[in-house]
Amino acid sequence: MESSGELHPVDEENAKMNTALKECIAKLKKEQKECIELFYFKEKSYQEIALSLRMDEKKVKSYLQNGKRNLKICLEKNHVG
């Protein structure tokens, strides 16, 4: 199998999305960023996040909802997604 070193269009789009997502996550408020990372990347439950960050589960839910909304807005501004 030959490799031209170029990405397939689908892989290129995924790479752009991953880069944009990382940039947008970095722009989130601290609490939103922590909750998003724990929930989606570490696969922690609301209860586990609340215990880890020493906050109420309702706060965790709120930070996740607001974080997701802010990520969507950021990605749309970057014309990704």
Convert the pLDDT of each residue in 26-49 to its tens digit: 999 999 999 999 999 999 999 999
15 in any annotated domain: no
CA distance 71 to 48: 22
Number of domains within the chain: 1
Model confidence at 9, pLDDT cuts 50, 70, 90, reads low
φ and ψ of 20, to 5 deg? -65, -40
- What single-letter DSSP state applies at residue 5? S
Domain that holds residue 71: 30-81
Kindly give the interhelix angle for 57-77 and 46-53, rounded to the nearest 10 degrees. Answer: 100
The CATH number assigned to the domain holding 35 equals 1.10.10.10
CA distance 61 to 7: 37
Residue at 69: amino acid letter: R
